[in-house]
Structure 1
Amino acid sequence: MTSPLHLSLAAQAVEILRELVLTGELPPGSRVNEVGIAQRLGISRGPLREAIRHLASEGLLVLVPHRGAHVPSADVSEVRALFELRTALECAAAELAASRRTDTDVIRLKAVCESSRQAHTAGDKFPYRLDLAFHQALLDAARSPRIAEQVRLVQQRVVLLRSGLRDDPPHQHASLDDHDSLVVAVEAGDPTRAADVMRRHLARVCAQMLTSLG
């Protein structure tokens, strides 16, 4: 039986390793050095291997028997497939958010937009946490746990693939504008408009990633 302490170490290792992958500190294409990371985290390789298996189940790592794990790299077909799925899920979520939102939901969405705008104006690299926070706030407003669960998995895989691509400040600014437009549609209670804005937003993000890959 696995001890509670071991479970705790494994859970911590999952979150730390996830952070290394999503921030690009472990860049796409790189191999996971189990010895080095275990020493860095001050844990044994057992909990780390559990964390690797967990992230592999989410698509954030590729685990090859007898060869270890590596961070997947972006390719055109993978990006297109992810955005096909993300568009289907998040357009539905946008419609539901516009139908089910509360005043508190709208306030939260606006707050995340403002924080993102301030970070961008300050010259910060577009932080993935704020991008995920906006989409999470939208999902919370949609009140569809099943959709939210699937969107989270797809979103973080997109964040992973984007971590290896060059920055594009004009694209980042356009994304902030898209978020503002989504808030307007959600606050107005307009499901059709919210879905249309989300569809255009994701199509532009997908196109930008494909251009970067080219």
Structure 2
Amino acid sequence: MTPPIPLGLTGQTVDALREIVLSGEVSAGQRVNEVELAARLGISRGPVREAIRQLASEGLLVLVPNRGAYVPVADATEVTLLFELRTALECAAAGLAAARRSEADVTAMRAVCAESRRSHRAGERFPHRLDLAFHNALLDAAASPRIAEQVRLVQQRVVLLRSALRDDPPHQTASLDDHEALVDAVEAGDGARAAEVMRAHLERVRVQLVAEVGAGPRS
């Protein structure tokens, strides 16, 4: 079931907490402190509890009875299961994007690629916002809202796993190359090629994540 769209103060709190979690500010296995978070955001604990429940429904937090909410710890099995689902969904989306893309869609994807390159060259750590922005632009081009809903939930769980791991500039470079190859295939209307590039991209990310999970958290 797709989580409800958050509204008002609770929605703002969900967005704020999601950013805190996805950025790696709260480490894997660490508890989310309701009191500290409410004080930081200048709100009561009610919206914080609602935000925690929302993120738990998305798989970004784990609720432990009588102990609170924790950021989940990655393992190889979880990575593999997530990528089985993500690969099936995003390869389909890549093929649809090649068939349905508009000029504006291609322009949007290329703009994110350019900004991602700039960020990488500036030495910024894995830019999860830009990675999500690229894949979201591709989903927009695919024009399949049901696929997009499910992909976005899986995507952010992958971002959460990556936030806890060591930075890997060569891997980031390869991912940016993959993104640009995807745009080329989508712009050319080559659905088979777009799906192939997406599959190879996600498999390489999966292998890298499995290896990094075994190596432990970044220092």
TM range (shorter): over 0.9
Higher alpha-carbon deviation: 59-68 or 47-56:
59-68
What residue is the counterpart of 1:81 in the other structure? 81
1:28-107 aligned at under 5 Å gives the runs 28-107=28-107
What residue is the counterpart of 1:182 in the other structure? 182
Q: How far apart in 2 are the matches of 1:140 and 1:50?
A: 29
Q: How far apart in 2 are the matches of 1:183 and 1:9?
A: 37
> 2:69 aligns to what SS in structure 1?
strand
Give the drift of 1:12.
1.2
1:127-142 aligned at under 5 Å gives the runs 127-142=127-142
> 2:31 aligns to what SS in structure 1?
coil
Query: CA-atom RMSD, angstroms?
Result: 0.8
What residue is the counterpart of 2:4 in the other structure? none
1:113-152 aligned at under 5 Å gives the runs 113-152=113-152
Q: How far apart in 1 are the matches of 2:112 and 2:189?
A: 19
Q: How far apart in 1 are the matches of 2:108 and 2:13?
A: 30
Give the drift of 1:65.
2.2
Q: How far apart in 2 are the matches of 1:8 and 1:213?
A: 37
Q: How far apart in 1 are the matches of 2:110 and 2:17?
A: 30
Give the drift of 1:124.
1.1
Q: How far apart in 2 are the matches of 1:119 and 1:66?
A: 42
Give the drift of 1:31.
0.3
The amino acid that maps onto 1:139 is L
Give the drift of 1:64.
1.7
1:120-149 CA-to-partner distances (Å, cap 9, x unmatched) read 111111210000000000000000000000
Give the drift of 1:73.
0.9
Q: How far apart in 2 are the matches of 1:148 and 1:208?
A: 24
The amino acid that maps onto 1:151 is V
The amino acid that maps onto 1:138 is L
> 1:181 aligns to what SS in structure 2?
helix
Q: How far apart in 1 are the matches of 2:82 and 2:138?
A: 19
> 1:166 aligns to what SS in structure 2?
coil
Q: How far apart in 2 are the matches of 1:165 and 1:83?
A: 17
Q: How far apart in 1 are the matches of 2:53 and 2:134?
A: 28
What residue is the counterpart of 1:162 in the other structure? 162
What TM-score, normalized by structure 2, do the two folds share?
A: 0.93
1:19-76 CA-to-partner distances (Å, cap 9, x unmatched) read 0000000111100111111111111111110000000000000012221110001000
Q: How far apart in 1 are the matches of 2:91 and 2:102?
A: 19
The amino acid that maps onto 2:197 is V
The amino acid that maps onto 2:59 is G
Give the drift of 1:8.
2.0
Aligned residues: 208
Structure 2 unaligned blocks of 5 or more: 1-6, 215-219
What residue is the counterpart of 1:3 in the other structure? none
Q: How far apart in 2 are the matches of 1:149 and 1:125?
A: 27
Structure 1 unaligned blocks of 5 or more: 1-6
